[in-house]
Structure 1
Amino acid sequence: MRYEEVQSAVFLTRPNRFIAHVLLQGQEVVCHVKNTGRCRELLRPGGQVWLEKGRGAKRKTAWDLIAVQKGERLVNMDAQAPNRAFGEWARNLEPGIVSVRPEVFFEDSRLDFLLETERGKHYVEVKGVTLESGGHVYFPDAPTERGVRHLHTLIRAVEQGYRATVFFVVQMGDVLDFAPNDETHPAFGQALRQAAKAGVQVRAFCCRVTPEEMEIDREIPVIL
């Protein structure tokens, strides 16, 4: 997964979820933030960020904020990047994958991927992870009722004889393990444990991240 026309900038402020003010080549500019999460531990005044030149004539901003330097770690914070990276990597999830279909419906819910395999249908929901502390990573960084609903959908898929996975894409490298963020959203942690007991696979992979690229790298332990 690769970006084009990437520039380094200095973060100034984030007036709302959708935009940020940055210093780019000595000028203050407004950019679109491609992540509506809180990201408070990432976006700090004076921090180094990376921007991608936007495309499309109807855009209100010329740049998208896609990554941030957090200590020694480069963190991709583009909310669309996990699905793009998984879509490229998906055939590595298991042998015998015949097709990879994005954005499919199961009952009344839309899930990120359906893998058609020699063993039958395999539903996958992808979640991006940007919250890190001491080398440990957590999801979510804000309450997500939508995430809880997705887990219950995956449970129903398993109950009907399909396979299902919730796949956490950790948008950084060099981390130790993944766990649900029970402090921020206890209901999500409860639903994740319920899903695991019901037979939903819970997997987490960290990524190789540069300002221009993000690629799924290796699996890390999941602590439930």
Structure 2
Amino acid sequence: MKAVKPWQKGVLVKRYKRFLADIIDAEGQALTIHCPNTGSMRECISEGSPCWYSHSDSKTRKYPHTWEVATTPSGHWAGINTGRANHLVREALDAGLIEPLADYSQIQAEVKYGAEKSRIDFLLSGNGPDCYVEVKSVTLMEAPGEGLFPDAVSARGTKHLRELISMVEQGHRAVLLFCVQHTGIERVSPADHLDPAYGKTLREAAHAGVEVLAYGARIDPENSEIALDRALPVLL
């Protein structure tokens, strides 16, 4: 994914009220921008560090700028716009880069499904049983190379795992795909110390036949580009 309009560079002052961040732009002016991340953003925020943000021409937006990439305390880059994760996965699916999912001829997004009234991120069809793909964005790294999910208690994430288990029980294929937007992460595990219920349910899902994959992103903020480019191991 290469942004249509180049991202701009600033310096992070602080993130607050979940959806807002203050930065200093390239001209030295203070600017409030939208933070498109509802999570805790643990280990993603380093005040005083470089950040990159996009601009929208929409006349209806109160804050026309959106935070895209942060410099983490470890000095790596993290794509903190969780809304980008599905776009990155869709690009990779269309290009056949996610090898275990490369043989499907049809891709549908945001399809209603499940007993708990969920929406699956991608429904793949055209090659045997339908394949239900749930995408989760990973940006938490607490130890070198170790990616963790979730970064806070996620009842919604646990619900999605139950839905995937149900799809396998009905004879479909189900996949949990971790989209890793962090240049320092080399493997992914459940964050048991933050959400033990999620970790427990994830292992139950894997035992039930839900496939768990992780793909890492190349992040180049100076060229306004993020793209999935490598498979990563998942350690349960």
After TM superposition, the score normalised by the length of structure 2 is: 0.91
What is the correspondence of 1:1-224 to structure 2 with a 5 Å cutoff? 1-3=1-3, 4-24=5-25, 25-70=27-72, 71-91=74-94, 92=96, 93=98, 94-107=101-114, 108-133=117-142, 134-211=144-221, 212-224=224-236
Shift of 1:41: 1.9
Shift of 1:206: 0.8
Q: Unaligned stretches of 5+ in structure 2?
A: none
Distance 1:174 1:79 in 2: 17
Counterpart of 1:98, as a letter, is S
Counterpart of 1:104, as a letter, is V
Contact 1:122 1:162 (C-alpha < 8 Å) held by counterparts: yes
Distance 1:40 1:105 in 2: 31
Contact 2:45 2:71 (C-alpha < 8 Å) held by counterparts: no
Closer, same or farther: CA 153–55 of 1 in aligned 2, 3 Å: farther
Distance 1:171 1:95 in 2: 21
Contact 2:93 2:102 (C-alpha < 8 Å) held by counterparts: no
Which one has the bigger strand percentage? 1
Shift of 1:188: 0.6
**Number of equivalences:** 224
Distance 1:75 1:16 in 2: 20
Distance 1:185 1:117 in 2: 36
Deviates more, 1:120-129 or 1:53-62: 53-62
After TM superposition, the score normalised by the length of structure 1 is: 0.96
Contact 1:174 1:206 (C-alpha < 8 Å) held by counterparts: no
Residues 183-208 of structure 1, C-alpha deviation per residue, up to 9 Å, x if partnerless? 10001101100100000000111111
SS of the equivalent of 1:51 reads: strand
RMSD: 1.3
Structure 1 runs, 4 residues or longer, greater than 3 Å off:
none
Residues 98-122 of structure 1, C-alpha deviation per residue, up to 9 Å, x if partnerless? 1111101113211101001311210
